[in-house]
Amino acid sequence: MSGASASAAGGPRTAPAVRQAGLWNIANVLTMLRLLLVPAFVLLLVHDGGANPVWRVFAWAAFAVAMITDVFDGHLARTYNLVTDFGKIADPIADKAIMGAALICLSVLGDLSWWVTGVILFRELGITLMRFWVIKHGVIPASRGGKIKTLAQGTAVGMYVLVLTGPLATFRWWVMAVAVALTVVTGLDYVRQAVVLRRAGLARERAERAESSERNTAR
């Protein structure tokens, strides 16, 4: 048996195996940290009936850390090829969990109108379900408007977590108004993209079936 490789001898050359990222990588650790912060944030926010400004500051700190990890875990996963099946599932769950918990708690405490919480949560859940509806036809990418919406929501909710009075309380109302407007506008844009993507996918499937039928007929 010679020492020549199969490729040198003219045999088939196999592609090198791609190393899969392990579960315990920095991106997934940040995602898990964000999941753990959800119950901690809730306990801090509702402590002492939610009336203690000091505990509200602690809750804001937990919320801020969760928002920051949301930015970094996805960036690290894409940049360093750390994307895993766990991350694909856990990351959006963590995103919705921390925002949903904040909105619901603030409404329960009487700091935020329930209709605001309803609009935001309905949009987020609806877009998530819509992504699954069209997933076989393609993926709806995150838009720049969606990213701005997320930033506006995080800023507004963070300001409501804090006990603010006077001009700051008025300012946070306007920030939340902008966040709600962006939530609705970007949600409608995602619906448009989903409809276009699904129509294109169905048209492509019909064309492929027609082409396949023609080939079978020609045989």
Give residue-wise pLDDT tens across range 6-44: 444 444 454 444 455 666 777 778 888 889 999 999 999
Mean pLDDT calculated for residue range 38-65:
94
Q: Which two tokens stand for residue 112?
A: 């935020």
Phi and psi (nearest 5°) for 106? -65, -35
Count of alpha carbons within 13 Å of 56, Cβ hemisphere only? Answer: 17
* pLDDT higher than 90, residue 156: yes
Burial class from Cβ neighbours inside 10 Å (0-12, 13-18, 19+) for residue 92 reads middle
Q: What was the pLDDT predicted at 22?
A: 64
Structure confidence at residue 87 as a pLDDT band (50, 70, 90): low
Strands (E), the chain: none
* pLDDT higher than 80, residue 176: yes
* More confident: 12 or 193: 193
Please report the DSSP string for 57-74 in residue order. Answer: HHHHHHHHHHHHHHHHHH
Q: Which two tokens stand for residue 58?
A: 């602690």
Contact 29, 80 (CB under 8 A): no
Among residues 122, 96, 81, the alpha carbon closest in space to that of 34 is found at 96
Q: What was the pLDDT predicted at 217?
A: 75
Contact 158, 201 (CB under 8 A): no
Q: What was the pLDDT predicted at 16?
A: 46
Q: Which two tokens stand for residue 82?
A: 């750390």
Sign, Cα dihedral of 141, 145, 146, 150:
positive
Contact 27, 74 (CB under 8 A): yes
* pLDDT higher than 90, residue 110: yes
Residue type, 58: F
Alpha-helical regions (H) of 134-143: none
Evaluate if pTM is beyond 0.85: no
